[in-house]
Amino acid sequence: MEVQDRRVRRTQHLLAKALIALTLEKGYESVTIRDITERADIGYATFFRHYRDKDDLLQDVLDVVYDEFINLLSPEALDADPTAVGVLLFRQIQERSEVVRVLLGSHTLLPRLTEVAAQNIVKDHTPRPASTVPLEIAAYHIVTSTISLVQWWLDHNMPYPPEQMGMIYHELIVHPTSEVAFSSTSSTVII
């Protein structure tokens, strides 16, 4: 059973790696399942034992990366340092820049990522009493602003180190929005 699980994970990893490389080379819309299986050196029929289509494969990649971000940025790991979230976030983005570029370029998955991340923020925070900014708008603002900042950083070949970007993220996006919209007893913002 263990051997089979390892083979399944290996196949899925090869398919994901092939999808990412091909998407960076020629754009997601131009990539075919045949391209993916040839690059991964996996049988065409084998692809369909794991995924319905390339969108399903891309969704699997998104889920894995998003779970890694959430686990990395868990409040217990942050020692209550609000800038630590941003630093960890940008270090992870730097390490996974190819995958993040593909995900940010996906017109299919980016809206879902935005929705899920904003829902997580709303779920984990309490609105500031008497705030004129509804919690769901503040959450959406943080997520979309963060995505824009990450996109700029990647588009400009990461000219600033993750530590500086983490501080920029906190000072420009999280801190002002938190001051206006979130109760001071809310936990650290994690997208």
pLDDT digits (tens, 9 = 90+) for 142-169: 999 999 999 999 999 999 999 999 999 9
Strands (E), 47-151: none
Both tokens of 67, joined, read 């779970």
As a CATH number, domain 2-51 is 1.10.10.60
Residue 43's pLDDT band (cuts 50, 70, 90): very high
Domain ranges of the chain: 2-51, 60-181
Is the per-residue pLDDT at 81 higher than 70?
A: no
Q: Give per-residue burial for 27-55: e unless 16+ CB within 10 Å, then b.
A: ebeebebebbbebbebeeeebeeebeebe
How far is the C-alpha of 107 from the C-alpha of 118, rounded, in Å?
17
The pLDDT value given to residue 78: 41
Instruction: Determine what percent of the chain is predicted with pLDDT higher than 90.
Output: 45
| Backbone CA torsion sign across 115, 121, 126, 127 | negative
The pLDDT value given to residue 191: 56
How far is the C-alpha of 70 from the C-alpha of 185, rounded, in Å?
20
The pLDDT value given to residue 85: 81
- Whether the CB-CB separation of 76 and 136 falls below 8 Å is answered with no
